[in-house]
Amino acid sequence: MDTVSLANHFLIAMPAMADPNFARTLTFICEHNAEGALGIVINRPTDMSLGTLFERVGLTLETHAAENLFGTMPVYFGGPVQTDRGFVLHRPAGEWQSTLKVSDDIGLTSSRDVLQSMGSAAKPQEVLVTLGYAGWSAGQLEWEISQNAWLTVAANPQVIFDLPPEERLPAAMQLLGIDFANLSDTAGHA
């Protein structure tokens, strides 16, 4: 049986999601294949700013444009795996040392060169920086979806890059035509 790839889709945590890492989250799936899935939670900002992260990793926001654009932007909790490692979700996808191309215009980069470019040239401008990611082993995500843990919908980049974090989950729900407040926290199977 062929697996349908959910790359470039949103996972919307159902209200009954018991795992505190994912309760009320919106996750952007970056890779999904027979070996498993990788995603980034996009609506959980931390107390750390990008300016602070740059200081901690020994980089500077060299230009006024970079400081204004990124200095106060939050760093996000991307998921419970490798929380000591940074990931940059960005548009355009670009050509970096370690980029997973999610779509024609969105990439996920884990190499330092994308941060260096942000600090020196203020590019790419559309970014979401996380510590950690969400990972699923082979078949795990499909099983969780079958257990009504998640709703899925094709991703819209505007939800990721143009909306404040608190508006992202409701906006993804609207892509499905559903109001999050109307979802039941009990699962049913047909």
Q: What pLDDT digit, counting tens, does each position of 61-112 carry?
A: 888 888 888 999 999 999 999 999 999 999 998 888 999 999 999 999 999 9
Tens of pLDDT, residues 9-66: 999 999 889 899 999 999 999 999 999 999 999 999 999 999 999 999 999 988 888 8
Alpha carbon distance 76, 130 (integer Å): 4
From the list 70, 66, 83, the residue with the least C-alpha distance to 133 is 83
The per-residue pLDDT for 46 is: 97
Q: Is 177 left (phi over 0), alpha (psi -120 to 50) or beta?
A: left
